[in-house]
Structure 1
Amino acid sequence: MPIYELLLLLLLHFALIEAVHLCPLLGPSWPALTDLSSDAAVQTALKNITKTIDDASSAGKFSGASLSLEVFDTGSSNALLTYAHTAKEINTTLGVSKVDENTVFRIGSTSKMFPMILLLIQGGFNSLQDPISKYIPEIKVAADELLRNSTKRDNGIDYTKWNEITVGELASHLAGIARDYGILDLTEQSSLLESLGFPALPPAQIRPAACQILAAGSANPVVPTSSTPIYSNAGFQVLGYVVEALAGGEDFEKVFEKKITKPLSMSHTFYTTPNSSLGVIPSYQGEYWWDFDIGEEAPAGGIFSSAKDMSTFGRAILNSTLLPRSTTRRWLKPLSHTSSLDYAVGAPWEIISFGNERPIDLYTKSGDIGTYSCVLSLDPDHKAGFVLLGAGNNTHESLALASDLVSKSLLPALEQAAKNQAHARFAGTYALGTGNSSITITTDDGPALVVTSWVNNGTNMFPSYMALHGITDPSMLDIRLYPTGLESPGQLSFRAVIPPPLPSGIGPFTSSCITWVTVDSQVYGNVGIDEFVFNLDGKGNAVSVSPRALRTVLSKTK
């Protein structure tokens, strides 16, 4: 094809992006990234992250908090970026004098990731469908009592319906149970509460911190099961007992060490309070919160760790080091909406969606306990992530801001790096050695690989695909190849996505992206007309492509 014709086609496609309502599939637009440490776009973003956080810290945005950040990917055991900021307001007599990647922080509710993955390691994903009463005998007693006692059974306000609650509902905050039991109860500040107009409580109404409160069925529910996510630390306290039951009664701490910290060599991660010399201790209340014991709720929020160890853990999730890949894929999915359209809930993921061109979901888990905070954030589309740890005043707000700053720089760079690598590996013209068959594939300002010309045995396939998809305006035809995630040795699978013409309308019924419905909707000889397979060389670069419905293989010519 003459160069001027190719340039004209590219210009037409750039204009087409503005005219066509692109409807990408959920998931990555390009194959998995490799060698991020040498990618120019990523390196620029990492430098920008360092400068942005330095500037925010200098401007007092982090309220004197100490910070530890690591950005990581699955391609290396080394971090892409290690950043640390040490606040002036720390107790160097008890703790470290300078924060680094091995400095230990409390990670608060990010601890919930550990009982969750232990459930999956020991019981698999199917265990999430089990009733919680299967694993906790005391809860089974409460569930049976509820069924026998009509007064309790009919009272949905004062009695939790333990017979309904599954392991998965506890894991995804859909059990409807109370947030905590007997910990951080305001009865500890009874004098203050009474001065504010609350009545004094008789001893019988003060709840002890013990699981028998759950078993007795006397704890009030918050909402019905599976109605709306309601955050519950107590749910993960109970899941800690499920982990022990699955381990044949072994203590959670021993299972935690045996299944996670030792296999992953997480030497700076602790279930119980480590020596303070390993950690950063804020001057104000740091010693109190470092030593604060949350007892049986430890699986929900009591664990200590470092940025390096949490990066190791995040990398292990993305790499499916501890789980089958099919289990990881099931785990990295939302289970409920929240009232924010860009914020969903998993088990126990807090799923944040970014991007207008296509959604990029970050699977995060944040945690706070006193003067300590943590955010673990995974990007499955790009096999990368980051962890932020904070210690000091207002650390939740500080880490939320820092997470925004990191994401704003990192995600576009990862997307650009994926596009650049895909262009280098797959873009070009593919043709038969004899006959008039060829296809040209490139990238543009939109997602995925783009087909800019396509001829089979002398027939222009663009009008053919227009006819098959009911498109009458040539300017509205757009063929983009998305990776499916299916692969064989030396081969990668893609599907062509062709956005259908949108009807005129005013709302989501007429404007929603429905290409997920149309994939594989047209087959020829039991082969989808949208199915493409690239054959790769030893370096992972495409050497040929097969539009499989055409029963042909086109070799890369340039």
Structure 2
Amino acid sequence: MRVHAFLLPLIALSVDAVKPYCPLLGPIFPPPRSLVNSPEIAAAKRQITLVIEDAISAGNLTDSISLQIFSGSDNDSIFRYSYSAPVTSSATMGVKKVSEDTVFRIGSGSKLWTMFMFLLETDGDVFTDPITKYVPSLSTTSNATRKFTGKIDHIQWDGVTVGELASHLAGIPRDYGFGDMAVTETALQKLEKMGFPVLQGSEIPPCGRESACSGANFINGMLESHPLVTTSWTPIYSNAAYEILGYALENVTGKSYRTLLEEGLIEPLGLTRSSYSKPDDKYGVIPGTWTENYWNVTVGDETPAGGLYSSAKDMAAVGRAILNHTLLTAAETRRWMKPSSHTASLDASIGHPWEILSLSEPRVIDLYTKSGDLGWYSSMLALSPDHNAGFTILSAGETSTATVTLLSDQITDVLIPALEAAAKSQAQKRFAGTYSLGGSNITISSEEEAPGLKVSAWNLASNNMFDTIASLKSSDPSSIDIRLYPSGIEVPGQIGFQAVIQSLPATKSTGLFSGACITWETNDALVYGHVGLDSFLFNVNRDGQAVSVVPRALRLSLPRL
């Protein structure tokens, strides 16, 4: 993550300072709440506005945009910005002025909506099933007479699972027909003159350029396709995978994708500018010409992979619904927001169909994102589960992909440090202080340059718990460090925390094995009566302020002074 000089006051953690610490993966403080009133977020909004307006003034922003930042703790977006580029204000079709309700095409952002609906209908319990159970027309058994059995020349569909398709691990082609260089006669002649071999009629896709492929043409094309790699070998992006998942969803439910979209997402979430088909032109931003912008291109059965229309306001509503578990349960959402595969980049992983980008500074923070491109349209939805917040960007114009990528970088650079600072500030007010009863006490604070809530003093009657823990770990008491991190376990009036109890080294090892964070392995190692010394519980009032702390292994509640 690039860190600009103007961000330094907002960053709560020093990179050098966090090196000896090994927090558990996940939030280091409870997600900040009521961000609309947060001074840290107010400063971030001013900075983001300045960055965009500087780009406009310099002539570097030539595409129309609509973006929103939102939080699960706020009912409405906490920041909105729309810009109408000259190509929009002078357009002969569509809106002249972009707003939060302006409709864009979201391209492959549609895959996220498809998976959302898939989970709503199946709870993800079908991910290990072969896809042929739900799309039997792909089965080699159903096509035995055609002998699609060679592992080199034909995909072994009976061995491809739903989950592999959802996470781009099926090893199948990116598309069928759409984008094929051999679709038009003119293209064929040009390529043959360049030395490409003459294709037989059966080798030329019958669809994809002039018109979308029918289900029969697409399935036949997939049966004729050879695998790119074997299943679960490496992620390779596939639009075709999500077209197949669209068929599976329809077969599982007995309903059309369009109906499922309306009943599953649009109506429950009150989305007013999202649709399967092109809306009235008066609602959309339509730059350039029809052949350039793809506004009116019908992608047919590939719509689940990349054909939906939406607005920034509706995209933010979808993001909030995911963060707030509005349609899925919290447990289902947590299972969904986990990686299924690495990529060749250490800071990028793949989910269903999340594109998970990991920041390493000031700590490991995973952003669950989904981008999309179609013609002159580009979209981004990014969620930070650690902060219960996210942002969306929609862009239309000739360089929309570059615009969304750059803005995503810039917003992340500003927003994540601000969210970290807001979470730290709120945690200090909610939990820091001294808790005492009789001769037992515990003092909790948050340090400027370290993660989590620090246990700075802890006494059980006349016994110093740091000395006790050091003797149990055979460590130097001065090296013992105890920090509390949210456990995600929360009920009205109570919030759970899990401590990381470390013997801090004088220096941080840089070796691959010796330098690895292993606190996830050592957690819950010191247990008394089946309860770990690292298990803590805060009792809180209606405002979320801690009134007492419970070191659960010690079976006592210490009131806050």
Q: TM-score, normalised by structure 1?
A: 0.92
Asked if 1:156 corresponds to 2:156, the answer is no
Preserved CA contact (<8 Å) 2:137 2:143: no
Structure-2 change in CA distance of 1:479 and 1:168 (3 Å):
same
Stretches of structure 1 that go unaligned for 5 or more consecutive residues are 1-13
Preserved CA contact (<8 Å) 2:108 2:306: yes
Q: Counterpart of 1:52?
A: 51
Provide the rounded CA distance (Å) in 2 between the counterparts of 1:234 and 1:259.
Answer: 22
* Structure 1 segments of 4+ aligned residues over 4 angstroms from their partners: 14-17, 143-146, 284-288, 500-506
Amino acid at match of 2:374: I
Across the aligned residues of Structure 1 and Structure 2, the Cα RMSD in angstroms comes to 2.1
SS in 2 for 1:163: helix
CA deviation digits over 1:77-104, x for unaligned, max 9? 3111100111101353311001110000
Asked if 1:223 corresponds to 2:219, the answer is no
Q: Counterpart of 2:239?
A: 233
Q: Note the C-alpha offset of 1:393.
A: 1.2
Q: Counterpart of 2:541?
A: 537
Q: Note the C-alpha offset of 1:539.
A: 1.1
User: In structure 2, which of residues 250, 255, 258 is the aligned counterpart of residue 253 of structure 1?
Assistant: 258
Q: Note the C-alpha offset of 1:144.
A: 5.6
Provide the rounded CA distance (Å) in 1 between the counterparts of 2:18 and 2:215.
Answer: 59
SS in 1 for 2:544: coil
Q: Counterpart of 1:132?
A: 131
Q: Counterpart of 1:29?
A: 28
SS in 2 for 1:453: strand
Provide the rounded CA distance (Å) in 1 between the counterparts of 2:152 and 2:178.
Answer: 22
Provide the rounded CA distance (Å) in 1 between the counterparts of 2:316 and 2:101.
Answer: 11
- Shifted more, 498-507 versus 103-112: the winner is 498-507
Asked if 1:386 corresponds to 2:384, the answer is no
SS in 2 for 1:101: coil
CA deviation digits over 1:529-549, x for unaligned, max 9? 111111111211000101111
Q: Counterpart of 1:9?
A: none
Preserved CA contact (<8 Å) 1:491 1:533: yes
Structure-2 change in CA distance of 1:15 and 1:181 (3 Å):
closer
SS in 1 for 2:25: coil
Provide the rounded CA distance (Å) in 2 between the counterparts of 1:439 and 1:21.
Answer: 23
CA deviation digits over 1:338-392, x for unaligned, max 9? 0110010000000011132421111000000010000010111111100000111
Asked if 1:515 corresponds to 2:519, the answer is yes
Q: Note the C-alpha offset of 1:501.
A: 5.0
Q: Note the C-alpha offset of 1:20.
A: 6.5
Q: Counterpart of 2:420?
A: 415
SS in 2 for 1:173: coil
Provide the rounded CA distance (Å) in 2 between the counterparts of 1:450 and 1:520.
Answer: 18
Q: Counterpart of 1:495?
A: 498
Preserved CA contact (<8 Å) 2:128 2:162: yes
Provide the rounded CA distance (Å) in 1 between the counterparts of 2:17 and 2:293.
Answer: 57
Q: Counterpart of 1:4?
A: none
Provide the rounded CA distance (Å) in 1 between the counterparts of 2:110 and 2:345.
Answer: 24
SS in 2 for 1:186: coil
Provide the rounded CA distance (Å) in 2 between the counterparts of 1:17 and 1:192.
Answer: 58
Provide the rounded CA distance (Å) in 1 between the counterparts of 2:155 and 2:457.
Answer: 62
Q: Note the C-alpha offset of 1:17.
A: 7.9
Provide the rounded CA distance (Å) in 1 between the counterparts of 2:188 and 2:227.
Answer: 23
- Give the alignment of 1:127-526 within 5 angstroms: 127-140=126-139, 142=140, 145=143, 152-153=148-149, 155-187=150-182, 188=184, 189-208=187-206, 209-212=213-216, 213-214=218-219, 217-248=223-254, 250-285=255-290, 288-432=293-437, 434=438, 436-444=439-447, 445-472=449-476, 474=478, 476-500=479-503, 507-526=511-530
Q: Counterpart of 2:119?
A: 120
- Shifted more, 283-292 versus 263-272: the winner is 283-292
Q: Note the C-alpha offset of 1:507.
A: 2.4
Structure-2 change in CA distance of 1:126 and 1:238 (3 Å):
same
Preserved CA contact (<8 Å) 1:535 1:543: yes
Q: Note the C-alpha offset of 1:336.
A: 0.4
SS in 2 for 1:128: coil
SS in 2 for 1:396: helix
CA deviation digits over 1:271-308, x for unaligned, max 9? 01111111111125577510112121011000010000
Provide the rounded CA distance (Å) in 1 between the counterparts of 2:504 and 2:516.
Answer: 12
Amino acid at match of 1:174: L
Preserved CA contact (<8 Å) 2:432 2:445: yes
Preserved CA contact (<8 Å) 1:112 1:299: yes
Preserved CA contact (<8 Å) 2:68 2:393: yes
Structure-2 change in CA distance of 1:30 and 1:232 (3 Å):
same
Q: Counterpart of 1:80?
A: 78
Provide the rounded CA distance (Å) in 2 between the counterparts of 1:19 and 1:134.
Answer: 49
Q: Note the C-alpha offset of 1:192.
A: 3.6
Q: Counterpart of 2:7?
A: none
Q: Counterpart of 1:3?
A: none
Structure-2 change in CA distance of 1:16 and 1:335 (3 Å):
closer
Provide the rounded CA distance (Å) in 1 between the counterparts of 2:148 and 2:292.
Answer: 44
SS in 2 for 1:51: helix
Amino acid at match of 1:196: M
Provide the rounded CA distance (Å) in 1 between the counterparts of 2:477 and 2:494.
Answer: 34
Provide the rounded CA distance (Å) in 2 between the counterparts of 1:61 and 1:31.
Answer: 38
Structure-2 change in CA distance of 1:19 and 1:50 (3 Å):
closer
- Shifted more, 209-218 versus 108-117: the winner is 209-218
SS in 2 for 1:484: strand
Q: TM-score, normalised by structure 2?
A: 0.91
Amino acid at match of 2:342: H
Q: Counterpart of 1:10?
A: none
Amino acid at match of 2:196: F
Q: Counterpart of 2:101?
A: 102
Q: Note the C-alpha offset of 1:506.
A: 5.3
Preserved CA contact (<8 Å) 2:171 2:231: yes
Provide the rounded CA distance (Å) in 2 between the counterparts of 1:19 and 1:89.
Answer: 47
Q: Note the C-alpha offset of 1:398.
A: 1.1
CA deviation digits over 1:321-342, x for unaligned, max 9? 1111111000000000001100
Asked if 1:38 corresponds to 2:37, the answer is yes
Amino acid at match of 2:492: P
SS in 1 for 2:344: coil
